[in-house]
């Protein structure tokens, strides 16, 4: 309190002085840089180098200067990014999550990757309705009040587009983990189990499939088997504590944990129950995996176990640190359940060391792994390999290509290799 009142007594004229101070501080920063360099490897400031900065001597911003809070302006590089050449326009397009900038397992709402087929609609929730019809006893038309009145559940689950890594089937192409793995997010989702709403409608014995349709311009539809609907599918309306972002399907989205992101239909307006899957316009060209023999895999819903190292990575090299001990850190996930363990190799897959799992360890959820690593400064081929609770082991690129060829776009979950060079920089190298 004493400190607070001191600040409030700061005279207005102090500002000019502060500006002068700021200029001095900038000059000081250069000196400090020299000092730090001279201090050698530790990178720790000494008492003399810690200056009282201008922001410690003046009033800060008032409450509600940002009624909805924003990150520090110094974090302005922590943003979603797109790859302009990847799609013909930015409406039917994709942006990527900056995985390398995140800690823990939750993707902040403003950084969740975006995938749209016709842009983001701005839906008035009071005008939004969900129709449930087809092979049901009672046709239902629910508004958002009716949906949020049901008892809710909350889970933390990842969501991944099956095209994640799809640019890398034929070899390394993207020099950034944001682009090799960033069609991936992990949020706390709140909503109503789909089975609760289906019980309300009463599924007829003939009902085996559900058509889910979005209210966006693409009116995107997917066919979902009833088993998934009765298992863990949710109708979600909240994400990390607040209502869904428009980008993620505001005001209502279907969410199928562990399954291809495209089945989690956003801006959900219709569920039709029928006896067989529908023929989707996209199905012939998309959401099937073209194999080497010309056949295509269909209904490959589950996102199989995958992992990637985030520190180091191309955007987070080990330059300028010169520590004897480094932390290799990354994330693993599996659409089939929990992570059993993650192994790390620094020699391209010949030798493996068990990593530690950090923090929450939930099914169908990002899981952090970490290995304390004494780097001798020589070039390395760093890899992570996940095993999930079903015993499924993340395949090598060679193993995956053997089964799937290189024609597919989807489900590339092979072991990823980062080439660490002696200067600490990291390149994307795809070894098989």
Summarize as ranges the residues that interact with Mo ion (CB under 5 A): 115, 161, 261-262
DSSP-assigned beta bridge partners for residue 158: 186
Residue 265 or 371 with smaller CB distance to ligand MTE = 265
SS3 at position 420: strand
Burial of residue 61 (CB within 10 Å: 0-12, 13-18, 19+) is exposed
Does residue 112 touch ligand MTE according to CB under 6 A?
A: yes
Q: Is the peptide bond before 59 cis (omega within 30 degrees of 0)?
A: no
Comparing every residue's Cβ against ligand MTE, the nearest one is: 214
SS3 at position 134: strand
226/207 Cα distance (integer angstroms): 8
- Choices 197-205, 257-265, 274-282, 375-383 (CB under 6 A): range interacting with ligand MTE: 257-265
Q: Min. distance of Cβ 218 from ligand MTE in angstroms?
A: 5
Residue 17 or 90 with smaller CB distance to ligand MTE = 90
Phi, psi of 63 (to 5 degrees): -60, 155
269/282 Cα distance (integer angstroms): 19
Does residue 214 touch ligand MTE according to CB under 6 A?
A: yes
# chain residues binding ligand MTE, by CB under 6 A: 21
Does residue 380 touch ligand MTE according to CB under 6 A?
A: no
Q: Min. distance of Cβ 409 from ligand MTE in angstroms?
A: 12
Residue 95 or 262 with smaller CB distance to Mo ion = 262
Does residue 111 touch ligand MTE according to CB under 6 A?
A: no
| Interacting positions 221-250 with ligand MTE (CB under 6 A) | 247-248
Which of Mo ion, ligand MTE, none interacts with 373 (beta carbon under 5 to 8 A by kind)? Answer: none
Does residue 218 touch ligand MTE according to CB under 6 A?
A: yes
DSSP-assigned beta bridge partners for residue 143: 129
Phi, psi of 230 (to 5 degrees): -85, -10
Which of ligand MTE, Mo ion, none interacts with 112 (beta carbon under 5 to 8 A by kind)? Answer: ligand MTE
Does residue 180 touch ligand MTE according to CB under 6 A?
A: no
SS3 at position 407: coil
Comparing every residue's Cβ against Mo ion, the nearest one is: 161
DSSP-assigned beta bridge partners for residue 297: 289
Q: Is the peptide bond before 153 cis (omega within 30 degrees of 0)?
A: no
Q: Min. distance of Cβ 198 from Mo ion in angstroms?
A: 25
Q: Tell me the two tokens of residue 102.
A: 């995140």
Residue 267 or 373 with smaller CB distance to ligand MTE = 267
Which of Mo ion, ligand MTE, none interacts with 220 (beta carbon under 5 to 8 A by kind)? Answer: ligand MTE
Q: Tell me the two tokens of residue 192.
A: 């109503």
Nearest to 282 by CA among 409, 144, 164, 156: 409
Does residue 343 touch ligand MTE according to CB under 6 A?
A: no
SS3 at position 100: helix
For ligand MTE, the binding residues (CB under 6 A) are 112-117, 159, 161, 185, 214, 216, 218, 220, 247-248, 261-262, 264-267
């Amino acid at each position: 309190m004493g400190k607070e009142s001191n600040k409030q007594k700061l005279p207005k004229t102090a500002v000019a002085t502060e500006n002068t101070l700021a200029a001095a501080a900038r000059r000081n920063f250069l000196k400090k840089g020299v000092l730090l360099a001279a201090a050698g490897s530790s990178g720790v400031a000494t008492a003399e180098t810690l200056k009282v900065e201008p922001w410690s001597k003046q009033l800060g911003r008032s409450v509600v200067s940002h009624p909805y809070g924003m990150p520090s302006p110094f974090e302005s590089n922590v943003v979603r990014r797109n790859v302009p050449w990847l799609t013909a326009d930015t409406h039917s397009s994709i942006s990527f999550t900056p995985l390398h900038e995140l800690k823990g397992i939750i993707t902040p709402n403003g950084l969740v990757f975006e995938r749209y087929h016709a842009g983001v609609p701005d839906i008035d929730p009071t005008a939004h309705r969900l129709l449930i019809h087809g092979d049901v006893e009672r046709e239902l038309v629910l508004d958002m009040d009716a949906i949020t009145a049901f008892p809710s559940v909350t889970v933390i689950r990842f969501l991944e587009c099956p095209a994640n890594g799809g640019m890398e089937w034929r070899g390394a192409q993207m020099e950034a983990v944001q682009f090799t793995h960033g069609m991936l997010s992990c949020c706390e989702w709140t909503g109503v189990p789909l089975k609760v709403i289906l019980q309300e409608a009463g599924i007829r014995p003939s009902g085996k499939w559900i058509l889910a349709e979005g209210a966006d311009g693409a009116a995107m539809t997917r066919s979902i088997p009833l088993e998934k609907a009765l298992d863990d599918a949710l109708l979600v309306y909240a994400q990390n504590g607040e209502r869904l972002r428009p980008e993620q399907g505001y005001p209502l989205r279907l969410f199928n944990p562990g399954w291809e992101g495209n089945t989690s239909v956003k801006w959900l307006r219709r569920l039709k129950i029928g006896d067989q899957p529908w023929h989707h316009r996209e199905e012939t060209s998309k959401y099937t995996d073209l194999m080497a023999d010309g056949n295509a895999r269909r209904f490959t819903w589950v996102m199989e176990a995958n992992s990637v190292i985030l520190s180091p990575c191309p955007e987070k090299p080990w330059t300028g640190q010169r520590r004897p001990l480094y932390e290799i850190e990354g994330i693993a996930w599996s659409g089939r359940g929990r992570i059993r363990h993650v192994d790390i190799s620094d020699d391209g897959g010949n030798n493996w060391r068990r990593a530690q799992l950090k923090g929450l360890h939930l099914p169908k959820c990002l899981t952090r792994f970490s290995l304390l690593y004494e780097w001798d400064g020589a070039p390395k081929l760093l890899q992570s390999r996940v095993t999930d609770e079903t015993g499924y082991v993340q395949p090598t690129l060679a193993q995956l290509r053997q089964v799937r060829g290189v024609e597919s776009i989807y489900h590339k979950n092979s072991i990823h290799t980062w080439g660490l060079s002696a200067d600490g920089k990291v390149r994307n190298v795809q070894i098989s």
